Structure 1
Amino acid sequence: MKKLEIGNFHVKDVVFGNETSYKDGLLIINKEEAMDYILEDEHITSLDLKIAKPGEDIRIVPVKEAVEPRIRPDGRALFPGVIGDLAPTGEGIVHALKGISVLGVGKHYGSFGDGVVDMGGKGQKYTLFGQLINVVLIADTDEEEERFEQQKKNHAIRWAAHKLAEYIGRAVKDLEPEDKDIYEFEGVTKRDEKTNNLPSVVLVMQPQSQMEMMGYNDLIYGWDMNHYVPSFINPNEILDGALISGSFMPSSSKWSTYEMQNFETIKELYSRHGKEINFLGVILSNLNVSLEQKERSAIFVANIAKSLGADGAIVTEEGYGNPDVDYIRCIVALEDVGVKTVGISNECTGRDGKSQPLVVLNEKANALVSTGNVSDLIELPACEIVYGELAALGRDGLSGGWEGDEKLGPSVREDGSIILENNAMFCGDGISGWSVKTVKEF
């Protein structure tokens, strides 16, 4: 049995001070020390740290990554194979600071996968991160070769966010957690009779892995998932830092690393394990470009699920468009081997809501959960403070933003107000399972 113990520290406020420490809900960060640590990376050419709290009139853009601050008391890296040596994940103890995130933000240049977070006003509701206290890492880099590219790897800023999350986590390394979440994963053949008699369910996750050039895709233990084939893994590994976000998918539909650390669908399945269902674990799949690759992965997934004895499956994709083909093909393949399957994804139905919601549909995909339309138009008033650079939304090809439109004008208006598609709201679709959206029938 693998047992993962996440010790929680519930942060109520964050301030800068003389030492990085935590006590009674107050997190103090030594800003100078934290910045010196990040600036050890010579590719970071300018840096600032800010704190953004829910309800403040702050707009943050271009947001590239979000990470929950954590630390492993035994000294293992928070993200093995990424910011430290390779080591197993999914068991042992990790300490987590809850209610806050580290946001990696560009100072001047955005890209297709970057997004917007509003901390207050009408825009706050569009993303989970408007509800959290955010330590905002605003940086520029010397990655000149991609500065004016729409698609960026954003390596230096993303890695800086991972490092800062671990640095902040040191504040609670030797403290006693306020409460604990314990995830015990038994081998699928070692479970008691009661559990084995419950309907068995597997979760199929399809992280972003379409780019054949390395550096854009999600990573598993530091390994680019374009090289990955579907495999059965312990869900604890996902919750424990084995998987990190990439820099490719349109912003509203991406899974940030924060979401992978807190993958709500996994948590929900665990909460019902042994009571309503027998949670078999995760089949970690991939998203491909060629039809042959898509078909191969669907075969892998269906065969693994059938071999595990799954009665049901949940399939969830990161992104939309081309990945819809992998998503629907996987659902159909599972149904074909007798595994009843539910899908979770967003839709791209156009600004008028009248287009086909997914690129491909099939009558066997008859139980789909929608997390909303990426093309919904959103208009938001100006915010008093901007962290990053507002112009990036219109100038730099962020998904959901534009420089000019015949009818709508520019995304960024002279008065600081903005108009954008939901596409640009950072991780706003909540495909990992946290979405607060509801469906209304008209």
Structure 2
Amino acid sequence: MRLEIGNFYVKDIVFGEELAFSKGTLTVNKEEALAFIREDDRITEADLYIVKPGEMVRMCPVKEAIEPRVRPDNRGLFPGYEGELVQAGEGTLHAMKNCSVLVVGKHWGGFQDGVIDMGGEGQKYTLFGELNNIVLVADTNEDFEKHEQQKKNDALRRAGHKLAEYIANCVKDLVPEDTEVFELESIIKRDPEVEKLPSVVYVMQPQTQLEQMGYNTLVYGWDMNHMVPTLMHPNEVLDGALVSGSFMPVSSKWSTYDYQNCPNIKALYNEHGKTINFLGVIMSNLNVALDQKERAAIFVAQLAKSLGADGAVVAEEGYGNPDADFVGCYVALEDVGVKTVGITNECTGRDGQSQPLVTLDEKCDAIVSCGNVSELIELPAMDVVLGELEALGRDGFAGGWADDELLGPSVRPDGSIIMENNSMFCGDQVCGWSPKTMKEF
């Protein structure tokens, strides 16, 4: 497969008379964009905002992030989800870099929703504090799930996915500033010099734990709770085959933006033919029952061994129950002779003294930590809040709480907040963005 991604670098975003991109400036007609969003009659309230790095703006509850993209050949951006079910990973794609579409709830949040600060101390905790963002703040008529801890957020998330493609239409017929090419030959017909290098697979474990449909990560529009581990071409991941689910404590989430830009995949691509022979992606899942976890680990190990992998990189979305999937997969790979490196966060408690993963094994001796989800963070009040900050202060919101006998409420009367790292939207950045390091004392 050969995928060409033509990049357009967004330096500024403004509202104006027409949707356009020129000399680094993206112009959006706000009313036309809102009219497009309101075509879904589930959307009851909607507004658009522009937020930029350094602005003292806080957003909560944040539900999804998407990079604006479009296909010049008119295929849908997310095949099988929004658009015809066709092969992803081939052809040409236009992408708007340094920006994202963020989806923020007007009122209600659950533990899959989070916080983004565009300025101050909180800016560093998520990638999206560094981007120019078009922010959709909306509410829906999905009253049945407003007070639920878990929300499908289907109307809101779908609105964001559609809006990202709608906005990128302005670069559909333009010439990119530069082009990234992603191409991998057939696994068994590669140059002999490449085949001499250590062969490596990337194992992804997206969140797929809920048996009720509508919450899990989608692949080609299909709920991944239904699948067993399978081999995917890395280009499929970069090209919209996966859409983020709504289920997962939010710092651990992989947004759709993370799939579209997955740094781990790009890093393996960069070393292909130099230091490694990159075989591809084993797309696994996360399960609840023990036999389901063991079955998935068997599939992953068999696939890796059959492909001739010498090494594997395993990345986990989430923590807690999914740690059993992560460790089980890691051990199964080591047992068939595939040297493995893991990437995950930890849940070591607010004092950092608890066991980092729910289950451990001595064979898991090479793990990259992306931080402690329970670490306490205090942030001052911001000039502007988009959404509803009170959502952070409801019990059931990841990392936030209504009241604590020692710490008080997460949302203080002056607008400052105290919470766990758990509340930072996609803050652990396990897909490869994480700037965090461990310290020994």
Match of 1:340 in 2: 339
Is the contact made by 2:238 and 2:259 (CA closer than 8 Å) also made in structure 1?
yes
Aligned to 1:226: 225
| 2:301/2:332 contact within 8 Å kept | yes
What amino acid does structure 1 have at the position aligned with 2:247?
A: F
Q: Partners of 2:259 and 2:326 in 1: how far apart?
A: 19
Task: Determine the C-alpha separation between the residues in 1 that align with 2:197 and 2:398.
Answer: 43
SS of residue in 1 equivalent to 2:288? coil
Deviation at 1:396, TM superposition (A): 5.7
Residue by residue over 1:82-113, the C-alpha shift from the partner in whole angstroms, topping out at 9 and shown as x without a partner, is: 11111110010000000000001100111110
Which residue in the other structure is 1:98 paired with?
A: 97
Identify the residue that residue 323 of structure 2 maps to in structure 1: 324
2:296 maps to which residue?
Answer: 297
Q: Does the aligned pair in 2 maintain the 1:110–1:396 contact within 8 Å?
A: no
The one-letter code matched in structure 1 to 2:157 is: R
Aligned partner of 1:394 in structure 2 is: 393
* 2:365 equivalent in structure 1: 366
- CA distance in 2 between partners of 1:396 and 1:154 (Å): 18
Secondary structure at 1:45 match in 2:
strand
Partner AA of 1:46 in structure 2:
E
Q: Does 2:417 align with 1:418?
A: yes
Q: Secondary structure at the match of 2:259?
A: helix
Aligned pairs (5 A) from 1:37-76:
37-76=36-75
Counterpart in the other structure of 1:82: 81
For 2:307, the equivalent position in structure 1 comes to 308
Q: CA deviation at 1:30?
A: 0.8
> 1:205 Cα deviation (Å)?
0.3
Residue 281 (structure 1) aligns with: 280
How far apart in 1 are the matches of 2:178 and 2:421?
A: 36
What per-residue deviation string (whole Å, max 9, x for no partner) do you get for residues 14-45 of structure 1? 00000000011000001111111110000000
**For the residues of structure 1 that align with 2:90 and 2:206, how far apart are their CA atoms?**
22
Q: State the alpha-carbon separation in 1 of the partners of residues 146 and 271 from structure 2.
A: 47
- Match in the other structure for 1:158: 157
CA distance in 1, matches of 2:74, 2:396: 40
**Helix, strand or coil at the partner of 1:80:** coil
SS in 2 for 1:40: coil
SS at match of 1:9: strand
| Inter-partner Cα distance in structure 1 for 2:31 and 2:87 | 33
For residues 251-293 of structure 1, what are the alpha-carbon distances to aligned partners after superposition, in whole Å with 9 as ceiling and x for unaligned?
A: 0001000000000000000000000000000000010010000
Q: For residue 101 of structure 1, give the secondary structure of its aligned residue in structure 2.
A: strand
State the 1:439 CA deviation.
2.1
CA contact (8 A) 1:372 1:437 kept: yes
Letter in 2 for 1:222: G
Q: 2:215 & 2:397 partners in 1: Cα distance?
A: 15
Q: Distance in 2 between matches of 1:409 and 1:167?
A: 43
Contact 1:381 1:416 in 2 (8 A): yes
Structure 2 Cα separation of the partners of residues 87 and 31 of structure 1:
31
Please, which moves more after superposition, 431-440 or 172-181? 431-440
Equivalent-residue separation in structure 2 for 1:55 and 1:183 (angstroms)? 33
Aligned position for 1:189 = 188
Separation in 2, partners of 1:395, 1:368? 34
User: Which residue does 1:258 correspond to in 2?
Assistant: 257
- Pairing 1:142-181 to 2, within 5 Å after superposition: 142-181=141-180
State how far apart, in whole Å, the 2-side matches of 1:395 and 1:359 are: 26
- The one-letter amino acid paired with 1:183 is F
Residues 369 and 437, structure 2, Cα contact 8 Å, conserved in 1: no
* One-letter code aligned to 2:296: S
Which residue of 2 is the match for residue 127 of structure 1?
A: 126
Residue 33 of structure 2 is aligned to residue 21 of structure 1: no
Structure 1 runs not aligned, ≥5 long: none
Shift of 1:190: 1.3
Partner Cα separation in structure 2 for residue 396 and residue 321 of structure 1: 19
In structure 2, C-alpha distance between the alignment counterparts of 1:51 and 1:185, rounded to whole Å: 38
Change (3 A) 1:51 1:396: farther
Secondary structure at the aligned position of 2:389 is classed as coil
Helix, strand or coil at the partner of 1:391: helix
Secondary structure in structure 1 of the residue aligned to 2:266: helix
The alignment partner of 2:103 has SS state of strand
**Hey, what does 2:405 align to over in structure 1?**
406
How far off is 1:395 after superposition? 2.0
**Residue correspondences, number:** 441
The corresponding residue for 1:209 is 208
Q: Indicate the residue corresponding to 2:433 in structure 1.
A: 434
Which structure 2 residue ranges, 5 or more long, are not aligned? none
Q: Is the 8 A contact 1:217 1:245 kept in 2?
A: yes
Contact 1:109 1:396 in 2 (8 A): no
Secondary structure (helix, strand or coil) at the match of 1:304 reads: helix
- Pairwise CA distance, 1:69: 0.1
2:440 and 2:420 map into 1 onto residues whose CA distance is: 22
Structure-2-length-normalised TM-score:
0.99
CA-atom RMSD, angstroms?
0.6
| 1:109 partner amino acid | W
Residue identity opposite 2:248 in structure 1 = M
1:241 to 2:240 alignment:
yes
Preserved contact between residue 60 and residue 116 of structure 2 (Cα < 8 Å): yes
Q: Which amino acid in 2 is paired with 1:156?
A: A
> Could you tell me whether the CA contact under 8 Å between 1:382 and 1:416 is conserved in 2?
yes
Q: Hey, which bits of structure 1, 4+ residues long, moved more than 4 A?
A: none
Question: What TM-score does the superposition give when structure 1 sets the normalisation length?
Answer: 0.99
Code of the residue aligned with 1:9 in structure 2: it is F
Tell me the distance in 2 between the aligned counterparts of 1:11 and 1:396: 38
C-alpha deviation, 1:440, in angstroms:
2.4
Moved more, 394-403 or 13-22: 394-403
Give the distance between the partners of 2:219 and 2:320, measured in 1 at CA.
23
Output the amino acid matched with 2:280.
Answer: G
Structure 1: distance between partners of 2:345 and 2:275: 27
Aligned residue for 1:326, secondary structure, equals helix
Q: C-alpha distance in 2, partners of 1:228/1:110?
A: 29
